[in-house]
Chain A
């Protein structure tokens, strides 16, 4: 079946602008994760959804970052007043939420560049 999809694949924006990044998880997966990856680093946890609710948003760096998943499927990561330091690859992953261990499968990522 289809894997995790993310749009757009690339986003270039100017400092101070607002951006939205979209993730469509694997069908039936109840758990959804957002990560941020900078060059030479591993993915950095941002937020986790179980269903519609954010079960853990402790990785969001500040209040400019917000994510929603209103119907328990597609999720949108929203970044306000973007800064150059927000430039990174934003990865989304989903898992069934029930298996042990809880294996996550990643989408292709959105490369965000803030000029």
Chain B
């Protein structure tokens, strides 16, 4: 089992819809979780971080964390074509300084 798993996609949503991106992780003691956006040929850009169970909202983005289910998600409201990118989930492993990334989900927002 991979430490951090994401569906590679592509996930296609129409403009204005809600995009839902999901990530599961295997280390139950993981403490911090991050979502990055990566455009083709560019480096990852931090969108949000979360470490408490529940929801965290920032503009059109909402991160959701459920530690019991070992699941973290990112919702993008009012999706725009400019949101089309690969979204990477990263997890800080318990007791380490390591951050493990998933392979990313490619999102396509259709105009």
Interface on A for B, CB 8 Å cutoff?
31, 33, 35, 40-45, 48, 50, 55-56, 58-59, 89, 91, 100-109
Contacts and interface: CB of A to CB of B under 8 A. Distances in A.
Interface residues of B, number: 27
Interface stretch (B11-19, B37-45, B74-82): B37-45
A59 B43 contact: no
B74 to A, nearest CB: 15
B49 A101 contact: yes
A61 to B, nearest CB: 15
Interface string B49-60: 111000000000
Contacts of A35: 101
A40 B86 CA distance: 10
Contacts of B32: 100-102
A45 to B, nearest CB: 5
Contact of A42 (B31, B45, B46, B88): B88
B87 to A, nearest CB: 10
Contact of B42 (A42, A45, A101, A108): A108
A55 B96 CA distance: 9
B24 to A, nearest CB: 14
Contacts of B45: 106
Given A42-B88, A42-B102, A100-B32, A105 B46 contact: yes
A34 to B, nearest CB: 12
